[in-house]
Structure 1
Amino acid sequence: MTDQQRIAIVIEDEPDIRELLVQVLGQGGFTVHAAGNGLDGVALVERHRPLVTTLDVSMPGIDGFEAAKRIRAISDTYLIMLTARGDEIDTLMGLEAGADDYMLKPFRPRELRARIDAMLRRRARDAAVAPAPNGSPRPEGAADAGTAASPVTTTPDAAAAPAPAPSDERPARPAEARAAGAATADGDPTSTRPRSVPGDDDGWLEHRGIRLQPDMHLVTLDGEELDLTRSEFELLHLLLTSRRRVRSKADLALALRGESYVTSYYVGDADKRAVEVHLANLRRKLGESATQPTWIETVRGVGYRLTADD
């Protein structure tokens, strides 16, 4: 396991809660560093490059929202915001600031561990199926050592957040530019198979100028690299691999939690609203309008899918 995978940062101004978080994460196999305010916490993230960071919202100095923005500018750490403020606007602000998850105090330590374990399972699974840098498939069991997590029986709701208003429209791309990448691997624009870039054997996926490489965790749009959060990257990856097959909000929420089957795990409105927020932020970074989508369509009452290649 790499240094990043062994390290967690706790940013919490209440000593009792801070000590509890240090204990919970330490029992999960992490080396934990703690800070009592946002500025010190951001400095710890920059210094130690943690895999997981917990962040309180109400703190002296800069609050959790500002700390989240500064952390997201320098790190892709799995960021969980903890707060006693349960208003939907606070949840929305937290997710828009770059948080991957949002939990209300008093939180249950087992729930926190469950969410972290689900994230670790997802990373291990992705590493096992992603192509190796030379383009050949990874051998079975080649996931990063130490990413396997303990079994989890239940995973409670993710943070709730209202669906934001559509972002500003992105100017339409010229038809000839869209047509350049229109054909799928078998010529069928409704194919559900992910399409690799022609002539590229490194596992790239592409759709209308968006290119994503799962193993390198890299996304570009028209040749320019995009700065996505972990959850935004996961959602885009899921949609690119599904293409025209519709993915429901419940399906996407479970995938973000590292689970697979809607019938086996509970998905509440909070989980679905969190997906809406992450999708809205992803669209904003792409410069896409939800009402006139270039890349991601909303299938009203069902979920999301990629737009047709043509």
Structure 2
Amino acid sequence: MGNRRRVLVVEDDVTIAGSIAARLRAEGFDVDLAHDGPAGVASAEAHRPDLVVLDVMLPGFDGLEVCRRVQAARPVPVLMLTARDDETDLLVGLGVGADDYMTKPFSPRELTARVHALLRRFERATVVDGAVLAVGDLEVDPVQRRVRRAGEQVHLTPIEFELLAYLAARPRAVQPRERLLAEIWGWGEAAGTRTVDSHVKALRRKLGADLIRTVHGVGYALEVPA
């Protein structure tokens, strides 16, 4: 029992929440349920889950506020659920600490695959030797998991950090979206490349638009700032 992972599902639709919980329990997870914003934050504080599945639209206060409060207390992977495939909403979600998102409706099978991939990525050490990576005025410390640009510390979500560290370890080298998806998210298919694009946009917003170059039709490369 001590090795079982705990997932908190915060979803106001009782039917959807029950379906997600049943699927995750069948996969061997311990699952806690909350159906509004305040209850979600309280459950995260009480049970310290290994991962949170979080709906955006919630009574009390929304999932974005839940994510802010949960991440402020303790970094934890967050898979956000949204009823709208709106890029602005998705970027806001990533900006407050979500690591991945799914648009309703979704298959329970895909959700559990995302949960497993996020947990693997969160628990696995970054593929670098531990030395601080310095690219121009950017510094990435894989041991302390800290990022600075021009001396200013920048807060990144766990997945954003992994993506930046992967690119920073290979400056100027173009990384295809499919490779990033496999290495950072652990997905063996190319269907989620928009997830890569959304996280790159979030990194640009936090670190500056000049840092990551888009290679159209291929992927991204970390540039050495002038």
Q: TM-score range by the shorter chain?
A: 0.7 to 0.9
CA distance in 1, matches of 2:88, 2:108: 25
What is the SS of the residue equivalent to 1:53?
Answer: strand
2:172 partner letter: R
Is residue 307 of structure 1 aligned with residue 193 of structure 2?
no
Larger Rg: 1
Tell me, in whole angstroms, the C-alpha distance in 2 between the residues paired with 1:243 and 1:96: 24
Q: Which residue of 2 aligns with 1:108?
A: 107
> Percent identity at matched positions?
42
User: How many residues in Structure 1 have an aligned counterpart in Structure 2?
Assistant: 226
Structure 2 CA distance for partners of 1:237 and 1:31, relative to 1, 3 Å: same
Report whether the alignment pairs 1:253 with 2:169. no
Partner Cα distance (1:308, 1:107) in 2:
39
Secondary structure of 2:59's aligned partner: coil
Alpha-carbon separation, structure 2, partners of 1:309 and 1:285: 15
What whole-Å deviation, never above 9, does each CA across 1:137-192 have from its counterpart, x for those lacking one? xxxxxxxxxxxxxxxxxxxxxxxxxxxxxxxxxxxxxxxxxxxxxxxxxxxxxxxx
Partner of 1:237: 165
TM-score, reference length from structure 2: 0.83
1:44, CA displacement in angstroms? 2.1
Give 1:284's aligned residue.
205
- Separation of aligned partners in 2, 1:279 and 1:228: 12
Structure 2: runs of 5 or more not aligned: none
Larger proportion of helix: 2
Partner of 1:121: 120
1:61 maps onto 2:60 in alignment: yes
Cα separation, 2, equivalents of 1:253 and 1:73: 27
CA distance in structure 2 between the partners assigned to 1:89 and 1:209 by the alignment: 29
Higher share in strand: 2
Query: Partners in 2 of 1:61 and 1:119 — Cα distance?
Result: 27
* Structure with larger RCO (C-alpha < 8 A, sep 6+): 1
In structure 1, stretches of 5+ residues that fail to align are 132-201, 260-264
Cα RMSD, aligned residues only: 2.8
- Partners of 2:182 and 2:201 lie apart in 1 by 18
Q: Find out whether 1:217 has 2:145 as its counterpart.
A: yes
* 1:206 Cα deviation after fit: 1.7
2 CA distance for matches of 1:130 and 1:89? 32
Shift of 1:36: 1.1
Instruction: Check 1:30–1:89 CA distance in 2 against 1; reply closer, same or farther (3 A cut).
Output: same
